[in-house]
Homo-oligomer: A and B are copies of this chain.
Amino acid sequence: MIKDVARLAGVSHQTVSRVLNDHPSVRDETRERVLVAVKQLNYRPNALARGLAGRRSRVIGVVSFDTILHGPAATLLGIERAARRAGYGISIVALERLDRSGVIEAVNRLAEQSVAGVVIIAPLLTAAAAAGSLPTGVPAVVVESDLAGDLPTISVDQVAGARLAVEHLLELGHETVWHLSGPKDWLEARDRIDGWRATLEAAGRRVPPVLAGDWSPKSGYEAGRQLAERGEVTAVFCANDQQALGMLRAFSERGVRVPEDVSVVGFDDIPEAAYLSPPLTTVRQDFDEVGRRCLAALLELLGVDRPPGVARHPRVPPSLVVRASSGPPRAA
């Protein structure tokens, strides 16, 4: 194929290759002629052959988990966008279970395809650990994990996010804030617990026991029913919006008014959050930015220049979105 172009342009195939790869020493007039031929034949170089010969493909592998959840899906999209802009394609492997061998196997599958590098979305502790000890020499970046050994890591600053939520509630006048956590083997869940606890302690408040959820609306619903029984609770910080949604449902069933009786704050800012009853105060994560920084980190690892304008810091700051589900306590 490249030979057809070469023939049409009256040059050698190597010169065509040079033009395609922006090699400096090609005369302008020659380059022009080649480009005309390329356009005329509607030529597109074969990525496989390129990868084989050049030993670097323009494809990045992504190991993802549960892309039906909002966070992972949004992160994946962010990565894809950033990659496309940088001229890379994306190959994905979704994991069914997020354990050690699964992650390693997935990376191997991608390595087989000679991807230039991989991004591992590994929100579980076990996965992060696996990522930290990859056998292969594939350049890798890890998302939402900070115990991935030497690998560069990008994540939203969950601790700061939790602090935003808790401080907001304390400023409204609540005595303390309860927490419905995510599953404890998720790093994000653990960080949000830490942030919540640290903020309460820093303010000298009582730290109630952690309620354990599993991200699902169902677990929020069940926790909500329990909280509705106790009278004392005035503010709850849920580890994600779906749990908050389930909790709102439980409160509404029990006649607990939000925010008059109890304030609820979520995490994620899913598209639905603004339209719940009542609209949900929550912490927004910028997944697009996460994707961008992942790619930047990976490109750096590959020895390519980082795209301009992308901050380097591995911790993306979240922001608080105040809506009607949080307000001052009745007593205050």
Contact = CB atoms under 8 A, between A and B. Distances in A.
Interface string A14-26: 0000000000000
Contact of A276 (B49, B81, B84, B245): B245
Interface stretch (A2-10, A66-74, A190-198, A228-236): A66-74
A84 B89 contact: no
Given A45-B112, A67-B73, A249-B276, A271 B217 contact: yes
Contact of A80 (B94, B246, B271, B272): B94
Which of A81, A112, A242, A272 gathers the greatest number of chain B CB atoms within 10 Å? A272
13 contacts: A46-B112, A48-B48, A48-B51, A48-B52, A68-B73, A68-B271, A80-B94, A81-B94, A89-B109, A90-B92, A245-B276, A248-B277, A277-B277
A292 B228 CA distance: 43
A134 interface: no
Interface string A265-276: 000000110111
A199 interface: no
Contacts of A89: 91, 93, 109-110, 113
Contacts of A111: 44
Interface of A: 44-49, 51-52, 57, 59, 67-68, 70, 73-74, 76-77, 80-81, 84, 89-94, 96, 108-114, 216-218, 220-221, 242, 245-246, 248-249, 252-253, 271-272, 274-277, 279
Given A70-B68, A77-B68, A246-B275, A91 B90 contact: yes
Of the listed residues A70, A91, A216, the one surrounded by the most CB atoms of chain B closer than 10 A to its CB is A91
